Amino acid sequence: RNLREQGDMVRSCQAEEEVEAYFDALLRSRVPAEVGLLVGKPSVRSRDLLFSVIRTPEQDGAAAVECTATGAAPAPSKGTKGKSAAGAAAGASYVVQLDSAWVAEHAVQVARMLPGGLAVLGVYVFCPDGAYQSMLDQLSQLLAQLAGGTAAAGATPLLLHVDSATRKMAAREGDGASPLRTAKPVELKFSPCVNQLVCLTACHYVDVSLPVSSSDSQQLKERLNMAVAVETRRIRQSLMLLPDGSLPDGAAAVMDVAAALGAAGAVLPTHAITLLAPLPGSVPARGAGGSGSGG
């Protein structure tokens, strides 16, 4: 579906089928409410890849989100069909307690442990629609915190709501700058995407001499940091030479480069990439240096 809003292409997110199965399990278990993180890879071939969800654990025995129906909807009579029951749930009012500070802290901790290339894309909320509507302001503040440092660089955080009464899923993007009620929708599709991951193993040796002095450990630390900074700039200014002798575009995705090289029938194809870096000493010890390139 090629959806458009005000002439702009709607953001697309491809989610692993196991994510959908996870929410189905919550529905079968009649979990009242749950909040957690969306983990994946942003901006891959014009879409985000959602690989997994991570529930935010309890803190001091309290759940990260709790919602209690207070009211006004009548209880469904015996034999009430699913749609009528869902309508009753939608008409109820809720008291919601969302520990947004703890969810944000959980996002920081998870982001630090993720392997290279993966990031916290946003948050999900599993709850009735009435409860979701009542916590939009808190969720907006939470997304603002994620946009401030936890979410993938340059990507607006995602918010996925799964209605615990109807199973309806709705994804939006927001950074807290505007109300979530008017936030742009995100097109969500479920299909296998983990198989698009590429395992990249890199090894780079550095030949550097450092003075060892037990009386001045701070100076040793500073020189070591400077050596690492210089070598980092060398790598950023380098070119990658593929086995076929070609130089890939610096903005090319690793999976696209790997697909072009071919699997050669191997279960785990391996390709040796040559790093063409500037000569040692040609990169200044201080200064901005070259800009980084993807690969």
How far from each other are the two terminal CA atoms of the chain, in whole angstroms?
A: 30
Residue 75: CB atoms within 10 Å: 9
Q: Per this entry, what is the length of the chain?
A: 295
If you classify domain 4-196 with CATH, what class do you get?
alpha beta
More confident residue, 294 or 111: 111
| Domain map (residue ranges) of the chain | 4-196, 198-295
- For the entire predicted model, the pTM comes to 0.70
Whole-number Å distance between alpha carbons of 136 and 181: 8
Q: Residue 283 — very low, low, confident or very high, per pLDDT cuts 50/70/90? A: confident
* 249-259 pLDDT, tens digit each: 877 777 677 77
* 120-165 pLDDT, tens digit each: 999 999 999 999 999 999 999 999 999 887 656 668 899 999 999 9
* 214-270 pLDDT, tens digit each: 677 788 888 888 888 888 888 888 888 888 888 888 777 776 777 777 655 555 667
pLDDT at 290 over 50: no
Whole-number Å distance between alpha carbons of 207 and 246: 28
Range in 29-38, 46-55, 118-127, 173-182 with the lowest mean pLDDT = 173-182
pLDDT of residue 223: 85
pLDDT of residue 39: 97
pLDDT of residue 251: 73
> Which tokens in the block code for residue 288?
């901005």
At 15, the amino acid letter reads A
Q: Are 67 and 131 in contact (CB under 8 A)?
A: yes
At 173, the amino acid letter reads E
Whole-number Å distance between alpha carbons of 253 and 294: 7
* 70-89 pLDDT, tens digit each: 865 544 444 444 444 454 55
Burial of 157 (0-12, 13-18, 19+ CB in 10 A): buried
> Which tokens in the block code for residue 192?
């296998």
pLDDT of residue 24: 97
